[in-house]
Amino acid sequence: MRILKFLFTLLAGLILLLTLAYFIVGAWVDERLQQQDFSAAYNDCRKVWTARGLYGDGVPQNSIESIAAAFEAGAQGVEVDIRYDKQKGDYIVSHDYPYNLKNGRLLTLKELFDALGARYPGRYYWLDYKGIRHLGDHEPRAVQRLLEITRDNGVRDFIYVEGEAPLALAAFRDAGFHSILDTHPLPENSYPRLAAFMFGIYKMVYYFGGFTVMGMEYGEKGDPVYGPRARERLGRLPVFLYHVPVDPALVKQLLPLPAVRAMIVGNNQSVNLHDLNACEQPAG
């Protein structure tokens, strides 16, 4: 009984210390974030990007054709799904594994950049890095390969690498790439306290990781992840939103928010709302 009592007391003390540390470090991080310079993050009126390009009617998603179509429609940036093939030592443009073929063949990320970089200068690529946490010993080579394939086509400064594994993502940050810390907070209406706690943790990881922006899904219209309380908790911290409901009125509400730097509308949908931009929306 004495041993159990001792262990219980030790556990309670540990929980108390962790709770105090959470609030103390969280308050310090909030203060630092209020003073932080976020000028390195994308900040353009054209916030509505697209996922995998504009596809359909024979045009495959995540293809040169679909991404070119999005750029032609006015998208300033496109989210592209990529995977690093350890055996090939190269990046494959694909959402799934086994890889999705484009016109009957594999499409490498180098081919995509070489085809579109000079043709659409100044456009952005949101690289949704599938399996980044599993790079292991291949991490240095993966970073080097991304540096190699962005050397001569003018896209290096316009790449955002997204990942949910902070340590692996930091390797790409250290190589000079913009970074998106992918987060998965809970909806604020269904889980208000847990959502607040998770945002506190994510802000610490974002700050100490030195990442460019924080990424997250918007959530449902009636139960958002990035709702009013989340916006208050994150303050000026720049965010990239995905899975924003296909609702032009909602998009117009999000566009004037200074912290929202880019958004992808729809979930596994080809959506063209690129005529909407923040410069034409009233501030609010």
The CATH number for 183's domain is: 3.20.20.190
Domain annotation covers residue 18: no
Domain annotation covers residue 40: no
Domain annotation covers residue 25: no
Token digits of residue 64: 């040169």
Position 256 scores a pLDDT of: 96
Total domains in the fold of the chain: 1
Position 6 scores a pLDDT of: 66
Domain annotation covers residue 256: yes
Domain annotation covers residue 204: yes
Q: pTM for this structure?
A: 0.93
Domain annotation covers residue 93: yes
- Calpha distance 127→209 (Å, rounded): 18
Buried b (16+ CB within 10 A) or exposed e, 102-118: beeeebbbbbbbbbbbe
Position 243 scores a pLDDT of: 97
- Calpha distance 181→197 (Å, rounded): 17
Contact status, residue 230 vs residue 211, Cβ threshold 8 Å? no
Domain annotation covers residue 5: no
DSSP for 170-191? HHHHHTT-EEEEE--PPPTTTS
Position 284 scores a pLDDT of: 46
- Calpha distance 156→210 (Å, rounded): 19
- The amino acid sitting at 3 is I
- pLDDT digit string (tens) for the chain, length 284 residues: 677 776 677 777 787 888 888 889 889 999 999 999 999 999 999 999 999 999 999 899 999 999 999 999 999 999 999 999 999 999 999 999 999 999 889 999 999 999 999 999 999 999 999 999 999 999 999 999 999 999 999 999 999 999 999 999 999 999 999 999 999 999 999 999 999 999 999 999 999 999 999 999 999 999 999 999 999 999 999 999 999 999 999 999 999 999 999 999 999 999 999 999 888 755 44
Contact status, residue 274 vs residue 75, Cβ threshold 8 Å? yes
Residue 274: name the closest of 57, 124, 154 by CA.
Answer: 124
Terminal CA-CA length for the chain: 61
Domain annotation covers residue 39: no
**Owning domain of residue 222:** 47-280
